[in-house]
């Protein structure tokens, strides 16, 4: 009995999801504007790091001056 109820609920969600598409997915102008906003954000990053796979601890990589 529970299996039939669960399968019916899952099927109803699958049908509802398949027949509706959010407007933002099909709107090309929305994608273009969103991409412009993402590209306009400043990109800042910290120093490069290397992860030690044994202790799962990150170490800052420093270049050696010779």
- 34-53: pLDDT as tens digits: 889 888 888 777 777 677 66
66, pLDDT greater than 60: no
Q: Say if residues 48 and 61 touch (Cβ distance below 8 Å).
A: yes
Q: Say if residues 60 and 51 touch (Cβ distance below 8 Å).
A: no
Q: Say if residues 16 and 25 touch (Cβ distance below 8 Å).
A: no
Distance CA(9)–CA(38), nearest Å, equals: 37
Between residues 1 and 62, the one the model is more confident about: 1
31, pLDDT greater than 70: yes
Cβ atoms < 10 Å from Cβ of 63 = 7
Residue-range domain boundaries for the chain: 20-65
């Amino acid at each position: 009995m529970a299996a039939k109820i669960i399968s019916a609920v899952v099927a109803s969600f699958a049908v509802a999801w398949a027949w509706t598409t959010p407007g933002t997915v099909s709107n090309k102008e929305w994608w273009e504007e969103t991409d412009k906003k993402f590209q306009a954000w400043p990109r800042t990053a910290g120093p490069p790091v290397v992860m030690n796979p044994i202790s799962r601890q990150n170490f800052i990589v420093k270049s050696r001056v010779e």
